[in-house]
A and B are shown apart, each in its own frame.
Chain A
């Protein structure tokens, strides 16, 4: 008769020890959150924590990238008046500004998409509404990132 596995007190089998022994005259109870072989594998990763950290890291970079961008496009050298195809061609002739704009595009789109994901999660109460809004958000985000990347990489100053 297996007396260590089942008891009348309703405690199930305990991993790594018998329910009673000389040193434990009272039943051995596992720590409530102890992970054992029988604990189901967690279905959630650390996605939310990674997203939280990404917002802060990308935020710091975007402060530098975007404020410099505003300074160049809207303040220095005549402000918005100077912008035109020739101005874009002049800037994208340099790999430095290509990388700058590419980095700004990806970081700003992902930062904004994650921000809007949070807003949708906060205000859309029905699961179906959240599903559709996030589907629309992710579609628009992927489209915009791919379009912008394509434009930066395939820009042709002699298009006409």
Chain B
């Protein structure tokens, strides 16, 4: 690890770290996702077989994680744009981060049932 990668700490640095980590994770998923979708050019059966793994409870949990990463990266990205282009942005970057976190939490609570519901029904019966 290169020296001096820990910057000032607090909201500014940690939101930047989280933006990087979520960005890299989303990019790696994107490779996999284009490859799995490319199977529609092989055969309907091969595509459906691979998509079946996306419907298992363990992968459902990973999908919930993917939604978490994408929503944070999207909301914080809009905050970064506000910091760069809005004259009052840098002054309010902390409040905007807390706005991002609260909105993210609300959306993540809302996503529990739609994203994880089918996995819960499979695990515990319905």
Are A and B genuine complex partners? yes
By a beta-carbon cutoff of 8 Å, the part of chain A in contact with chain B is 56, 59-60, 62-63, 66-67, 70, 74-76, 78-81, 83-86, 88-89, 105, 108-109, 112-113, 115-116, 119, 123, 125, 140, 144, 147-148, 150-151, 154-156, 159-160
Q: Mark B85-126, 1 if CB is under 8 A from A, else 0.
A: 100000000000000000000000001001101100000000
Inter-chain CA distance A83–B55, complex, in Å, is 9
With known contacts A79-B114, A123-B2, A85–B24 Cβ distance under 8 A: no
Chain B residues contacting A76 (CB-CB under 8 Å) are: 114
Interface size, chain B (Cβ < 8 Å):
40
10 CB contacts below 8 A, A to B, read A59-B78, A63-B78, A75-B111, A80-B63, A81-B118, A108-B30, A112-B30, A113-B27, A147-B38, A160-B45
Chain B residue nearest to A109 (CB atoms) is B30
Chain A residue nearest to B29 (CB atoms) is A112
By a beta-carbon cutoff of 8 Å, the part of chain B in contact with chain A is 2, 5, 20, 23-24, 26-27, 30-31, 34-35, 37-38, 40-41, 43-45, 47-48, 51, 54-55, 60, 63, 67, 70-71, 74, 77-78, 80-81, 84-85, 111, 114-115, 117-118
Q: How far is the CB of B3 from chain A (nearest CB, A)?
A: 10
With known contacts A60-B81, A88-B40, A159-B43, A83–B54 Cβ distance under 8 A: yes
Question: Majority SS of interface residues in chain A?
Answer: helix
With known contacts A74-B115, A154-B41, A112–B60 Cβ distance under 8 A: no
Chain A residues contacting B2 (CB-CB under 8 Å) are: 123, 125
The answer to whether B114 and A160 touch across the interface, beta carbons within 8 angstroms, is no
Inter-chain CA distance A56–B41, complex, in Å, is 33
